[in-house]
């Protein structure tokens, strides 16, 4: 069963990742709106890219309109798609933008699903948390889940307020992991390890540990304990990282600050 006609607004990093996932499942003739000249590279037999909403054909009736634009552009972008309210489901992956705020821009008849994916979607390993607003039908929810499952795992919440900390944890989370690899690589070089080997060790350690975590039924804490021999090198390192003023404090503060910023983006 193919993906039905979609209107994708924004062909950036996340929008293009979703598009690639849909194409793998068979995408019906769809349209995308993106003013960037490079967006035209995504054109194909299943997708026509136009620079502006005014260029959309009058008879086009997408099953879903997917907003993959920056949340700061919502106020000027969303009203251009009011004509699809009542017929299409709106799926937003804009950080911070609330269902109520989007409805004020799209009209009271708008059926809106708010979702937060993350960048591993590019390799179909993303995780997305979604929340359906009032008026979203069961078939519309099923469609949105299918669109999001094309890029990874999907979970649903009923409390929209949870999407702000979700954004801080999983939406921003890949950057924390990349920072870990970056810092490990730098520290390895400082200990005399050649640059190319330092990069290999840092990247493969992070990637392999993530794969092990995904494959294991144990808690992350249990896996940590299993690799920590009493009196060994790992225990010595963790004594630094797990000090009350080190990683535990920094991670809590990072998640709290990112959650606060997600809420600010709703304004």
Q: Which portions of the chain are predicted below pLDDT 50?
A: none
The token pair at 17 is 């990742």
Whether 6-160 and 173-264 share one fold: the answer is no
DSSP class of 166: H
- Note the residue count of the chain: 267
**Distance (Å, rounded) from C-alpha 57 to C-alpha 29?**
13
Please give the pLDDT value at position 108.
95
**Distance (Å, rounded) from C-alpha 244 to C-alpha 207?**
27
Q: Map residue 87 onto helix, strand or coil.
A: coil
**Distance (Å, rounded) from C-alpha 221 to C-alpha 130?**
27
Please give the pLDDT value at position 265.
86
What are the Cα distances from residue 68, in Å, to 29, 84, 177?
19, 16, 23
**Distance (Å, rounded) from C-alpha 260 to C-alpha 144?**
27
DSSP β-bridge partners for residue 8: 32, 66
| CATH of span 6-160 | 3.40.50.720
**Domain topology for 173-264:** ProC C-terminal domain-like fold (1.10.3730)
**Distance (Å, rounded) from C-alpha 132 to C-alpha 188?**
46
Which residues, including other chains, have CB under 8 Å from residue 161's CB and lie 6 or more apart? none
β-pair type (126-132, 111-116)? antiparallel
Which residues, including other chains, have CB under 8 Å from residue 6's CB and lie 6 or more apart? 22, 27, 28, 30, 31, 62, 63, 64, 65, 66, 147
Please give the pLDDT value at position 2.
87
Please give the pLDDT value at position 1.
62
Listed by start position, the domains of the chain span 6-160, 173-264
pTM of the model as a whole:
0.90
φ, ψ for residue 32, nearest 5 deg: -135, 150
């Amino acid at each position: 069963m193919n993906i039905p006609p979609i209107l994708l607004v924004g062909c950036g990093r996340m929008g293009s990742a979703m598009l690639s996932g849909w194409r793998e499942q068979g995408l019906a003739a769809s349209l995308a709106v993106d003013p960037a000249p490079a967006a035209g590279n995504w054109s194909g037999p299943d997708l026509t890219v136009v620079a502006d909403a005014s260029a959309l054909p009058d008879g086009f009736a997408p099953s879903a309109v997917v907003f993959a634009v920056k949340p700061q552009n919502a106020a000027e972008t969303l009203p251009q798609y009011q004509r699809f309210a009542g017929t299409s489901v709106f799926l937003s992956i804009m950080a911070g933008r609330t269902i109520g705020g989007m409805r004020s821009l799209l009209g009271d008849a708008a059926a809106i699903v708010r979702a937060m994916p993350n960048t591993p979607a590019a390799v179909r390993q993303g995780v997305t948390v979604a929340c359906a607003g009032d008026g979203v039908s069961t078939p519309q929810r099923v469609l949105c889940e299918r669109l999001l499952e094309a890029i990874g795992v999907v979970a649903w919440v009923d409390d929209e307020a949870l999407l702000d900390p979700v954004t801080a944890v999983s939406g921003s989370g890949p950057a924390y992991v990349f920072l870990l690899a970056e810092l490990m690589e730098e520290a390895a070089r400082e200990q005399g390890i050649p640059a190319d080997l330092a990069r290999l060790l840092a990247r493969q350690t992070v990637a392999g540990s993530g794969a092990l975590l995904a494959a294991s039924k144990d808690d992350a804490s249990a896996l940590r304990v299993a690799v920590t021999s009493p009196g060994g090198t790992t225990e010595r390192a963790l004594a630094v990282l797990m000090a009350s003023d080190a990683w535990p404090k920094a991670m809590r503060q990072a998640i709290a600050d990112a959650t606060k910023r997600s809420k600010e983006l709703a304004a």
